[in-house]
Chains A and B, each alone.
Chain A
């Protein structure tokens, strides 16, 4: 087998290199100014004139391609809202889970193909940076009163995704409801609390809030001494909590629990008092976006009060201070005092994921023993 494929793969590699040599210079010269250069120039213009230029050029571009991990129907509603203002700009949306969509976006860029304008960065921001794929936007995406903590130099977030402790109301008395991750170490919860087999998000937040050592100690007690129940996937956990396989799930998405409660499930949730984790799913505009003005205009719409209101109708926790959120309790996540208490995990925290991965390898993976 090896003898057969070796010549094929070496020929193939040669072909790839030759093609790259042919494609890359041509692609580079054809592109002209990058999105980042365009935004730098726009940032120097007076505000009104600038917005007029953005709209005019965006309409001339007439389209943009978005790679994302938001749900299809939700994105469609936002695109419809956008098209009411700009009917001539076609928005194509490609949806996949965050890691897949980032892999695709980065591979295309590494191959010298700029096929997307706006992409979810998720926890692949580090790779996007490495591929020099993100454009700095000079604050053009959103202005006051959009909260500063949801915006980086080359990324921005439309929402906040908090993880909460959820419980089955028919199995846990009000007085017994665990209020914190520390409470879950109580022996009365032994073998009764579920956690994802790969809880990277909450472990990252714990490391950010507590440091690595304390997080390791907590994981050791929770996973080993208190025999936490390992399950795969937040969706399955929400279902199993609802039917009562276990009374408590340690880290479910708050809006998902609210959606189930609206349908009549007898479950509820609390914000942990010690580590109130909230993820900020980040988006980036491509450095060499084929439609830089349309990408900017669409991003502005997504961060506007109107765009955020559309998203909020689906139960998502939008961050524009004047936007509406469907579930009143979730609104609290974007207001003081809860907002100040949140351990926000943004795309820039991706380095912490490596520490989290190490702790998961040490404390959770060995629980999956060979039997």
Chain B
């Protein structure tokens, strides 16, 4: 890696240029405010979770300190086996989603392949569609007895044994992996967009072809983004319960999330102490992941790609590969995203899910769409969602940009703690975080319970971490010499930060914004605990429809949400094109 960089002329710069002293520096105020904000948003709920794991009574009830919860949670051997399954499942899914997402990001951001906009729009679709819909679609596609793929194979080739079996570890990994293309795609697209193409050009001038350029230059240079993406995908798969529930349970495959569900679902109301203790398990795995990430990206200057030397992203000329690359991308998208989407669309037109047949075609109607439009209280939830999602996303990216700057650009004491704090909420399951926040704001004299503010605080605390990761990845690629130049010209710190650093980080920040916004439309566990009569969010309605067995109405809602997403994607392309780094062709 470093040999390659040296060969293509990337010199080593001193990495850290900002060494703030403790007095007379305005940025220190920002740092103090930042630590206070992250501390309040994250450390306090996290403290409650740790505290809960060490007590024998629910919040608000008298109890004693104990380690018994750990014995209750982790006493059996099954759990160790389940954790082993989880590691296989999450690693497999993370690799699939990383490879798929990264390849598609490279095609749309770094090549001149045609139909890039179409690819960009398609790959973003699953970001906002409820996870349970995609999991159910895969269930109908890969089902060993009634799955459409097996039925099709039997019809066309007369095969009697199923060609695919979704009720298996491979089926689970596939469904989880392809459902999560979007996150690696977004993170890697931001990284590709901020990358100095002179590195690739140099490789090509030296005789490397498209593939070896990608393998030996592009990916190694992007190592921090690659590792951050893998880490986040891994942890998300670890937490995921939809796919293990619908495909793992029938296969008799238990993962950590299934064991947590088994242990908690029969306790009513939910056992906060046991939930908190399971959260500690996720937390430990996350800490190990973050530690490994830091070890691998220790010298951040190795990954600097945006320097002050004539930075201008251009696209790789793929020559006669142009169309094969596009066709291959469309093939991946067809298999990974279009197939489940077609199932959604098909179901949304029927009174209930049916295997395609002429009889089913005769039952097609738009009734489910009419039913969705009749859910008038869903409009309020949608507006609440937009307000909370956009605010949390906007504040989240601002905070994350500042956190990234402190962690990567300064040597302030405590920056590693800030880093760890900013990432830790990813390890706390939404329900546990929800209970912690519920109790916190029920007891403290801060009157935000029952308002949208508590949802904003909750979303910021739990999901800011995604924006932080993408900000890190962005900032690591920007050389400090650009900020140094600004400071040398006399610009104060704040001006440098807002006029130089932030605009260069824009692609990464936009990704963080979109991702937090999309999560506000997808996740149920957090808002369901802290929303109240007038502050319901859209996921509550989505879950209600599923819980009521109205899968076909939910599918119609999924299709409508997708159309909404396509508009958002179009707008974001326009905005990032205007305010991000300009492309040259």
Contacts and interface: CB of A to CB of B under 8 A. Distances in A.
Interface in A215-252: 229-236, 238-240, 242-245
Interface in B423-449: 424, 435, 438-439, 442-445, 449
Interface stretch (A29-37, A110-118, A156-164, A285-293): A110-118
Contacts of A108: 442
Given A71-B548, A235-B547, A357 B85 contact: no
A243 B249 contact: no
Interface stretch (B76-84, B117-125, B501-509): B76-84
B547 A106 contact: no
B561 interface: no
A230 B549 CA distance: 18
A370 B82 contact: yes
A245 B355 CA distance: 11
B549 A235 contact: yes
Interface residues of B, number: 77
Contact of A239 (B44, B353, B439, B536): B353
Contacts of A263: 351-352
A231 to B, nearest CB: 6
Given A103-B435, A263-B351, A230 B269 contact: no
Contact of A198 (B43, B85, B265, B424): B265
A74 to B, nearest CB: 9
A93 B51 CA distance: 33
A76 B439 CA distance: 29
B219 interface: no
Contacts of A102: 268-269
B246 A232 contact: yes
Contact of B60 (A92, A96, A107): A107
Nearest to A127: B269
B145 interface: yes
Nearest to B376: A76
B252 A369 contact: yes
Nearest to A9: B47
Given A1-B287, A12-B48, A232 B450 contact: no
Interface residues of A, number: 78
Interface stretch (B303-311, B315-323, B327-335, B526-534): B526-534
B172 to A, nearest CB: 11
A111 B44 contact: no
A70 to B, nearest CB: 10
A353 interface: yes
A368 interface: yes
Contact of A104 (B43, B529, B544): B529
Contact of A107 (B140, B351, B438, B445): B438
Contacts of A106: 58, 269
A280 B140 CA distance: 33
Interface string A16-30: 100110110000000
B354 interface: yes
Contacts of A19: 443-445
B294 to A, nearest CB: 14
Interface in A240-291: 240, 242-245, 256, 259-260, 263-265
A244 B146 contact: yes
Nearest to A264: B351
Given A1-B287, A12-B48, A371 B377 contact: no
Query: In terms of DSSP, what is the predominant structure of the interface of chain B?
Result: helix
Among B136, B245, B254, B546, find the residue whose CB has the most chain A CB atoms closer than 10 A.
B254
B265 to A, nearest CB: 5
Contacts of A169: none
Nearest to B82: A370
Contact of B270 (A2, A103, A245, A365): A103
Interface string A119-162: 00011100100000000000000000000000000000000000
A107 B353 contact: no
Contacts of B252: 230, 367-369, 371
B165 interface: no
Contacts of A20: 443
A95 interface: yes
Nearest to B450: A115
Contacts of B528: 96, 100
Contact of A127 (B250, B268, B351): B268
Nearest to B284: A1
A366 B258 CA distance: 12
A233 B246 CA distance: 8
Interface in A325-371: 350, 353, 356-357, 360, 365-371
A124 B442 contact: no
The secondary structure that dominates the A interface is: helix
A99 interface: yes
Contacts of B82: 370
A16 B146 contact: no
B292 interface: no
B404 interface: no
B339 interface: no
Given A71-B544, A110-B60, A265 B352 contact: yes
Given A235-B551, A243-B354, A99 B269 contact: yes
Nearest to A71: B548
A111 B547 contact: no
B540 interface: yes
A111 B551 contact: no
A94 B543 CA distance: 14
Nearest to A115: B450
A243 B268 contact: no
B254 A5 contact: no
Contacts of B58: 106-107, 110
Given A23-B445, A233-B245, A365-B262, A370 B551 contact: no
A72 interface: yes
A240 B417 CA distance: 49
A102 B546 CA distance: 20
A263 B82 CA distance: 40
B44 A8 contact: yes
A236 B554 CA distance: 13
A72 B533 CA distance: 12
A46 B37 CA distance: 59
A4 interface: yes
B295 interface: no
Interface in B263-284: 265-266, 268-270
A334 to B, nearest CB: 22
A367 B251 CA distance: 10
Contacts of A172: none
B541 interface: yes
Given A110-B59, A240-B139, 10 more contacts: A9-B48, A16-B444, A73-B375, A92-B534, A100-B529, A103-B529, A233-B245, A243-B355, A368-B253, A371-B251
20 contacts: A4-B43, A22-B445, A73-B375, A99-B265, A103-B268, A104-B438, A107-B58, A107-B439, A108-B442, A111-B443, A127-B269, A230-B249, A236-B246, A239-B353, A242-B352, A260-B352, A264-B363, A353-B266, A360-B266, A365-B262
Interface of B: 39, 43-44, 46-48, 50-51, 58-61, 78, 81-82, 84-85, 136, 139-140, 143, 145-146, 169, 245-246, 248-254, 258, 262, 265-266, 268-270, 287, 351-355, 363, 375, 377, 417, 420, 424, 435, 438-439, 442-445, 449-450, 528-529, 531-534, 536, 540-541, 543-544, 546-549, 551
7 pairs of A and B residues whose beta carbons are closest in the complex: A370-B81, A103-B269, A110-B60, A9-B47, A111-B442, A368-B254, A92-B533
